């Protein structure tokens, strides 16, 4: 009897220990969303996840995108202190996936089958799928409607020709037409029109099969920038050192400039500015709808060193559900990466939506891994160099871009 009682106590203790262990599974998750400045619906979503999965506790650590490159790799390489789940973008997926630091998620999931075609073929790295997409980000043209009306411009510019006319009218009224920082706004215009007017695929430029110097699209794109300068859209030398993250945003928010090519993530803060009457429009290009410049915003990846893969996959599955993901996208003004999914853009982005619906989409090449990551700073430098000296030949800039691609191989 004593032995049976002892056995019963042992079994009860084992079951109790197992239950406690299940209750205390903790997922170490890192993200550049979820803090006070950019909550992106994360507090609400994590609360819901905990209620639906009481046996899993999520420990969320905010790490900015810039710091992610520095902080996470040593933890992944060390193994013991590696996060279980990390927020990533495509350059991170490529870098970490190629060296075995990420778990291959496989392509048999429902969410992968439902991934939008514009990014699906670019998600895998060397045959492995290391990221579950969360958000596509729109890069478009913020337009102050009141300033346009003041200059007698009754239509938001969707084509380059319309943009040239609008700039001339705005300048004549003493209104700054647009900002064109090399790091973002100007580069957005060059990339949109370069890819749109090109005769080769962006990845052919990025892997050396085609050259920027000979590319019709990017030669035309720089010529179009000269047209913008001639139309008084901006003073080029003043744009060369313009900060897109502070000065540019302040200038548009304060109503000092009519147009600002920037990311849709600014919609929320711009809407909070009293008296700012604006829309988020597509990038002016060669088509009546304009062109939607989309980029891969972020996704989840699982560390190959995780000891909680089952819990980590439950976390990813939670965000794959439209009812959950739509909360994040609405808070972050993001587009859904899945066919038929709910987008998070308000009505003021209707014209950008129309460009997407018409299929007039360009994907940002670096953040889809179509170009090597070194092309981002090289492209910024190229646009800055051009703004400082618009008379420079296109080939002087584009040859450097070709050299950058060659050096990356």
Nearest to 166 by CA among 232, 100, 113: 232
Listing DSSP states for 166-212 in one string gives HHHHHHHTT-EEE---TTTHHHHHHHHHHHHH-SS-HHHHHTTSS-S
Q: 29 pairs with which residues across the strands?
A: 60, 85
Query: How large is the angle between the packed helices 42-52 and 309-320, nearest 10 degrees?
Result: 120
CA dihedral 157, 159, 163, 164 (to 10 degrees): -150
Listing DSSP states for 134-148 in one string gives EEEEEEEEEEEHHHH
- φ/ψ of 370, rounded to 5, equals -75, -25
Note the helical H segments in 231-295. 236-239, 247-253, 267-271
Q: What is the pLDDT of residue 23?
A: 61
Q: What is the pLDDT of residue 302?
A: 98
- Domains of the chain and any CATH numbers: 2-134+297-343 (3.40.190.10), 138-295+348-408 (3.40.190.10)
pTM: 0.89
Q: What is the pLDDT of residue 80?
A: 79
What are the CA-CA distances from residue 86 to residues 75, 249, 292, 398 (Å)? 11, 29, 28, 36
Cα gap 227→30, rounded to integer Å = 45
pLDDT in tens, the chain (409 residues): 444 444 444 444 444 444 444 568 999 999 999 998 889 999 999 999 999 999 999 999 999 999 999 999 999 998 779 999 999 999 999 999 999 999 999 999 999 999 999 899 899 988 999 999 999 999 999 999 999 999 999 999 999 999 999 999 999 999 999 999 999 999 999 999 999 999 999 999 999 999 999 999 999 999 999 999 999 999 999 999 999 999 999 999 999 999 999 999 999 999 999 999 999 999 999 999 999 999 999 999 999 999 999 999 999 999 999 999 999 999 999 999 999 999 999 999 999 999 999 999 999 999 999 999 999 999 999 999 999 999 999 999 999 999 999 999 8
**DSSP 3-state of 119:** helix
Q: Residue 32, CB half-sphere, CA atoms under 13 Å: how many? A: 15
Nearest to 256 by CA among 195, 176, 154, 362: 176
């Amino acid at each position: 009897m004593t032995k049976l009682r002892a056995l019963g106590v042992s079994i009860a203790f084992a079951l109790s220990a197992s239950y406690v262990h299940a209750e205390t599974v903790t997922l170490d998750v890192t993200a550049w969303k979820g803090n006070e400045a950019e909550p992106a619906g994360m507090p609400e979503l994590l609360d819901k996840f905990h209620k639906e999965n009481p046996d899993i506790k999520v420990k969320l650590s905010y790490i900015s995108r810039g710091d992610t490159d520095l902080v996470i790799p040593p933890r992944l390489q060390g193994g013991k202190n590696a996060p279980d789940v990390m927020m990533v973008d495509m350059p991170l997926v490529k870098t970490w996936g190629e060296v075995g630091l990420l778990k291959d998620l496989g392509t048999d999931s429902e969410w992968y089958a439902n991934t939008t075609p514009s990014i699906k073929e670019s998600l895998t790295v060397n045959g492995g799928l290391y990221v579950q997409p969360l958000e596509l980000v729109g890069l478009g043209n913020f337009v102050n409607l009141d300033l346009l009306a003041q200059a007698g411009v009754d239509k938001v510019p969707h084509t380059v020709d319309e943009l040239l006319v609008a700039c001339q009218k705005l300048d004549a009224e003493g209104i700054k037409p647009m900002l064109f920082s090399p790091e973002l706004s100007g580069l957005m215009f060059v990339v949109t029109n370069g890819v749109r007017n090109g005769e080769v695929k962006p990845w052919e430029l990025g892997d050396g099969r085609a050259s920027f110097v000979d590319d019709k699209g990017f030669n035309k794109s720089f010529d179009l920038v000269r047209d913008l300068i001639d139309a008084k859209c901006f003073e080029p030398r003043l744009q060369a050192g313009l900060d897109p993250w502070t000065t540019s945003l302040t200038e548009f928010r304060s109503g000092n400039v009519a147009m600002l090519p920037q990311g849709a993530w600014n919609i929320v803060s711009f809407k909070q500015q009293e008296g700012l009457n604006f829309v988020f429009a597509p990038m002016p290009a060669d088509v009546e709808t304009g062109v939607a410049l989309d980029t891969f915003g972020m996704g989840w990846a699982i560390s190959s060193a995780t000891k909680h893969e089952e819990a980590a996959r439950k976390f990813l599955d939670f965000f794959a559900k439209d009812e959950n993901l739509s909360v994040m996208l609405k808070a972050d003004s993001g587009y859904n990466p899945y066919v038929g999914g709910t987008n998070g853009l308000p009505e003021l982005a209707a014209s950008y939506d129309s460009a997407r619906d018409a299929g007039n989409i360009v994907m940002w090449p670096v953040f889809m891994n179509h170009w090597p990551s070194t092309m981002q700073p090289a492209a910024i430098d190229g646009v800055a160099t051009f703004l400082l000296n618009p008379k420079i030949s296109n080939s002087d800039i584009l040859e450097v871009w070709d050299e950058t691609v060659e050096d990356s191989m």
